[in-house]
Structure 1
Amino acid sequence: MNKKLHCLSILLIFGILTLQAQKEASYGIRLGANLSSISSDDIPDSLEDSRFGIVAGFLAEYPITEKISIQPEFQFSSLGNDDETLRVDYLQLPVFVKYNFGSRFNIHIGPQIGLKIWEWEDNNGSEANFNTFNFSAVAGVGVNLTENFFADLRYGFGLSNVFDDEDLPISLDGNTRNIQLSFGYKL
């Protein structure tokens, strides 16, 4: 029930803000790299190396005022650790409140929900048992390189346990962390 409430809250906020911000919307695409890991005391030191992955997606920016806008995104993101048994890929929906410092720089912060679309399976078909949903908080800084091209640097901090340990003999607890550098183009 708690997960459904989180999803519903995020979608409700997104819907309300989208309805209020219908002026001068801009749209774009972004592509970048993640350096991610699962932060957990339950993972052996030998499996803690970070994973280098990709992020790719679409965005929309809805101005609220001259300096503040709402920026929902839809993206693919590969997260987890370098060890193949701890790799997981998500479709993510971050919703940012963005504050613009003039026309060049911005900061953005917001919640993000991820839907697991892939996790590693061994030769016997056993999965690593990741939860279906991953909730995170994300903060970042961005720069407009030209009128259409931009770059941003973000940090994502997982708020929910990534492991679904109901079928495991031990209890695992961990959450995602990632640094993301991306470049994009606004239409």
Structure 2
Amino acid sequence: MNKTLLLVFALLIGTITVNSQESRYGVRIGANLSSISSDDITGDFDKSRIGVVVGFLADFALTEKLRLQPEFQYSGQGNKDKDLRVNYLQVPILLKYNITDLFNIQLGPQAGIKIWEWEDNQADIADFSTFDFAGVAGIGVNITDNFFVDLRYAFGLSNVFDEDGSAIEIDGTSRNIQLSVGYRL
């Protein structure tokens, strides 16, 4: 199922790239305030982590007001406790609707692959799953034609803990508020 979703995303990006009339490319950098929502984690593990997000984007016109914005980004997420820190490479694919020339709203799926987790996990903390899927909603402000600011909320749709690789069973989903600035060419 996970591989099928990634293949569909890749085909969608390829199709849009070929059919797009207007395309722009850019970079974005910002900060995450992330946490893991779980009834199975108790104690001090519910504190949020501040992490960095940095990535590249493509911006394709679909209609006059509707755009497709696939991205490739690094994101530091998890909780403040070192045992619950995880970093991802993510591919958000956002539909962006321009309300005005200044404001837009964004909505779409996001697939992520784990590239790092804290190595010295305690015996009572499970390993992170390799894949993470989330839904993303956000608002954007175009400061100029090139500079922009985004505020997004990503809510996890899959269990972030590995169900097969752990002796104990923990369920949890990611939550992430992201503020970023960017530049489009």
Which TM-score bucket, shorter chain as reference? over 0.9
| Partner-residue secondary structure (3-state), 2:108 | strand
1:111 positional shift: 0.6
Check the 8 A contact 2:129/2:162 in 1, yes or no. yes
1:100 positional shift: 0.5
Pairing 1:156-171 to 2, within 5 Å after superposition:
156-171=154-169
Pairing 1:102-121 to 2, within 5 Å after superposition:
102-121=100-119
2:79 aligned with 1:81: yes
% identical equivalent positions: 57
1:145 aligns with one of 140, 143, 154: 143
2:34 aligned with 1:36: yes
| Partner-residue secondary structure (3-state), 1:131 | coil
CA distance in 1, matches of 2:108, 2:18: 18
Partner of 2:60: 62
Partner of 1:16: 15
1:19 positional shift: 2.4
Render the CA deviation track for 1:107-154: whole Å, top value 9, x for unaligned. Answer: 011111001110001189xx9511111011101000001121100100
Render the CA deviation track for 1:12-48: whole Å, top value 9, x for unaligned. Answer: 2222223222x22111110000000011111113111
CA separation of 1:97 and 1:168: change in aligned 2, threshold 3 A: same
Check the 8 A contact 1:40/1:174 in 2, yes or no. yes
Structure 2 unaligned segments of length 5 or more: list them. none
Count matched residues. 183
Check the 8 A contact 1:10/1:111 in 2, yes or no. no
Partner of 1:3: 2
Check the 8 A contact 1:25/1:60 in 2, yes or no. yes
RMSD: 1.6
Divergent runs of 4+, >6 A:
none
| Partner-residue secondary structure (3-state), 2:115 | strand
Check the 8 A contact 1:119/1:128 in 2, yes or no. no
Check the 8 A contact 1:86/1:128 in 2, yes or no. no
CA distance in 2, matches of 1:118, 1:34: 16
1:10 positional shift: 2.1
CA distance in 2, matches of 1:167, 1:143: 42
CA distance in 2, matches of 1:39, 1:119: 17
CA distance in 2, matches of 1:144, 1:6: 31
Structure 1 unaligned segments of length 5 or more: list them. none
2:128 aligns with one of 130, 137, 144: 130
1:93 aligns with one of 86, 91, 94: 91
